[in-house]
Amino acid sequence: MKFDIAMDAIQEAGEAIMEIYDKDFSVSTKDDKSPITEADNASNEILIKALNKTGYGILSEETGHQGSKDTFWVIDPLDGTYDFIQKTDEFSIMVALVNKGKPIFGIVYAPSLEKLYYAVEGKGTFLNNEKIKVSEISNPADMKMVISRNHFRERDQNIAKNIGITNFIKMGSVGVKYGAIAEGKAEVCIYTTNKLGLWDCCAPQIILKEAGGLVFDKQGNEPQYSIEEHKMMNGFIGCNSNKKMILGAINE
């Protein structure tokens, strides 16, 4: 099956990344001033080589788009490159399959944490083959919000405080954050920035949604994905509950 190809490829990429992680490695700077390591490139090469066999298009953060525009893979070969460089362990590889604008399959693999999240539309979310669900916590005073360690935005934290959330957990990769919500270890993640790429959000979206969570943008709409637009212009918000309250705080 084509999903099996993706699953095997992401684990092979994880092995390659960990070999590099455990030694001295080179770091370069991309045109947008963000870092890229030899691990990003090694992972990208493995994923593209494998996913080309499926016949679907591919959109990669590192090498752009090729093939079909209707059904295509979205890959982030190494999400949380700063965390990889800083050796926090909170980085991931993310792969999703988009069909007609929405993710129908997704994998977030955090090899250093030994966590493999995956989800299929309509079939739930799994962590290391065990089905997981979001928490039932809905009282803002009891909710935990995951925030970025390296891309901190005070505005997003202030939005949460206005809701009544005061418990914040710093994490790396978007995939690791959304995985934490999917397995009930946190309840909210708010990105109001327009800097995130499709590859940052596509797999995390289906991982959280299939675990019973909610994923939406600043206008309250479920994010859609197309080859023409590579940035999430309206932000990216995930939670287990309280969508109306969060949107109210964002747009007040």
Residues 115 and 19 in one domain: yes
1-15 burial, b if ≥16 CB within 10 A, otherwise e?
Answer: eeeeebbebbbbbbe
Q: What is the pLDDT of residue 1?
A: 63
Count the Cβ atoms, other than its own, within 10 Å of residue 227. 18
Residues 65 and 175 in one domain: no
Grade residue 152 by pLDDT with cuts at 50, 70 and 90: low
| d(C-alpha 163, C-alpha 252), whole Å | 11
Residues 117 and 179 in one domain: no
Grade residue 58 by pLDDT with cuts at 50, 70 and 90: very high
The domain spanning residue 66 has which CATH number? 3.30.540.10
Residues 197 and 105 in one domain: no
Residues 182 and 100 in one domain: no
CA distances from residue 167 to 41, 70, 181, 185, 194 in whole angstroms, order as listed: 36, 40, 14, 12, 25
The domain spanning residue 173 has which CATH number? 3.40.190.80
62 pLDDT higher than 90: no
Share above pLDDT 70 across residues of the chain, in percent, rounded to a whole number? 98
Which residues, 6 or more positions from 27, have their beta carbon under 8 angstroms from its beta carbon? 35, 36, 37, 85
214 pLDDT higher than 90: yes
The domain boundary, picked from 72, 101, 132, lies at 132
Domain holding 205, by residue range, is 140-251
| d(C-alpha 72, C-alpha 237), whole Å | 23
Q: What is the pLDDT of residue 147?
A: 92
The domain boundary, picked from 99, 115, 132, lies at 132
Mean pLDDT of 191-203: 93
Question: Residues for the chain: how many in total?
Answer: 252
Model's pTM, two decimal places? 0.94
Grade residue 161 by pLDDT with cuts at 50, 70 and 90: confident
Residues 121 and 144 in one domain: no
Q: What is the pLDDT of residue 30?
A: 75
Q: Identify the residue whose tokens are 């460089």.
A: 85
Please state, rounded to an integer, the average pLDDT across all residues of the chain.
Answer: 92
Residues 17 and 69 in one domain: yes
The domain boundary, picked from 110, 132, 154, lies at 132
234 pLDDT higher than 90: yes
Range scoring the smallest mean pLDDT among 17-26, 87-96, 123-132: 17-26
Residues 181 and 126 in one domain: no
